[in-house]
């Protein structure tokens, strides 16, 4: 496991590699971000952006999503995985926003997770990106990178990964670190072909060293 000094170095190196790491889901306001993140489950950001380009032209408010039939909304997001379920959730969360929050997206995680289709990860993304509240959303990239590097344990649950990262990193860096971990995992330390041989963190990475040994072997 990495100690605090090593973790500091790891995060700094990621910052140098990806100084512009940011949320890649296109959105203009908190409501669009909620919809985009809800659509992104088991789906790439690139595909979501392709779909929301037209979607956000057609639907601007929670009322707009309720003004059409479920079938029409399903058709509009058809190219996205689990589109039937996601369309239902979008209509349900739109209804809830109108009934309980005056049509506005709440800025607290505990309120956000009450919305259909919004789990802890989605809520963390929204409070962090839309409202500037320090948070670490653990997606597949964040989990993979944290475990490979030895910041977290292999057996840690997603919630344990989040809590470990929050404990080991300064609060004011949670949000930016979350984006750097995602970029590092998405573009460098990929699931199938991590670029271990050119990785500046190889000396500190338990998984990378194992992989390089196998390569040499």
- Which H or E run includes 54? helix 45-58
| CA–CA separation, 56 and 33 (whole Å) | 11
**What percent of the chain lies above the pLDDT cut of 70?**
100
The arithmetic mean of pLDDT across residues 167-175, rounded, is: 96
Per-residue pLDDT at 217 exceeds 70:
no
| CA–CA separation, 176 and 11 (whole Å) | 10
Two structure tokens written together for 169 = 């990193």
Give the chain's length.
217
3-state secondary structure of 122: helix
Q: Is the dihedral of CA 103, 109, 111, 114 positive or negative?
A: positive
Q: Look at residue 214 in the predicted model and tell me its pLDDT.
A: 87
Q: Look at residue 215 in the predicted model and tell me its pLDDT.
A: 81
Q: Look at residue 199 in the predicted model and tell me its pLDDT.
A: 97
**What are the residues whose beta carbons fall under 8 Å from the beta carbon of 210, sequence distance 6 or more?**
none
- Is 189 annotated for ligand binding? yes
| CA–CA separation, 157 and 196 (whole Å) | 25
Two structure tokens written together for 196 = 């271990």
Residue pair 17/215 in contact (Cβ under 8 Å)? The answer is no
> How many CB atoms lie under 10 A from the CB of residue 184?
27
- Is 199 annotated for ligand binding? yes
Q: Which residues are catalytic?
A: 121, 139
The predicted-structure confidence for 131-159, as pLDDT tens digits, reads as follows 999 999 999 999 999 999 999 999 999 99
The arithmetic mean of pLDDT across residues 177-204, rounded, is: 96
| CA–CA separation, 138 and 161 (whole Å) | 7
> How many CB atoms lie under 10 A from the CB of residue 46?
9
Residue pair 136/178 in contact (Cβ under 8 Å)? The answer is yes
The predicted-structure confidence for 17-31, as pLDDT tens digits, reads as follows 999 999 999 999 999
The predicted-structure confidence for 28-67, as pLDDT tens digits, reads as follows 999 999 999 999 988 999 999 999 999 999 999 999 999 9
- Is 152 annotated for ligand binding? no
| CA–CA separation, 48 and 33 (whole Å) | 11
pLDDT category of residue 216 using cuts at 50, 70 and 90: confident
**What percent of the chain lies above the pLDDT cut of 90?**
96
pTM reported for the whole predicted model: 0.92
């Amino acid at each position: 496991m990495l100690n605090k000094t090593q973790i500091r170095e790891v995060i700094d190196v990621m910052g140098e590699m990806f100084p512009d790491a940011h949320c890649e889901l296109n959105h203009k306001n908190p409501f669009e971000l909620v919809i985009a993140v809800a659509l992104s489950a088991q789906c790439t950001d690139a595909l979501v952006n392709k779909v929301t380009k037209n979607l956000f032209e057609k639907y601007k408010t929670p009322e707009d999503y309720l003004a059409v039939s479920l079938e029409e909304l399903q058709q509009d997001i058809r190219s996205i995985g689990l589109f039937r379920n996601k369309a239902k959730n979008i209509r349900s969360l739109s209804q809830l926003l109108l009934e309980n929050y005056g049509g506005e997206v709440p800025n607290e995680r505990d309120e956000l997770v009450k919305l259909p289709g919004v789990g802890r990860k989605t809520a963390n993304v929204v409070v962090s990106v839309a409202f500037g509240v320090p948070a670490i959303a653990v997606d597949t990239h964040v989990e993979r990178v944290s475990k490979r590097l030895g910041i977290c344990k292999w057996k840690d649950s997603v919630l344990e990964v989040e809590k470990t990262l929050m404990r080991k990193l300064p609060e004011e860096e949670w949000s930016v670190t979350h984006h750097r971990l995602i970029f590092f995992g998405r573009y460098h330390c990929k699931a199938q072909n991590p670029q271990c041989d050119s990785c500046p963190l190889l000396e500190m990475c338990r998984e990378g060293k194992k992989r390089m040994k196998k390569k040499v072997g």
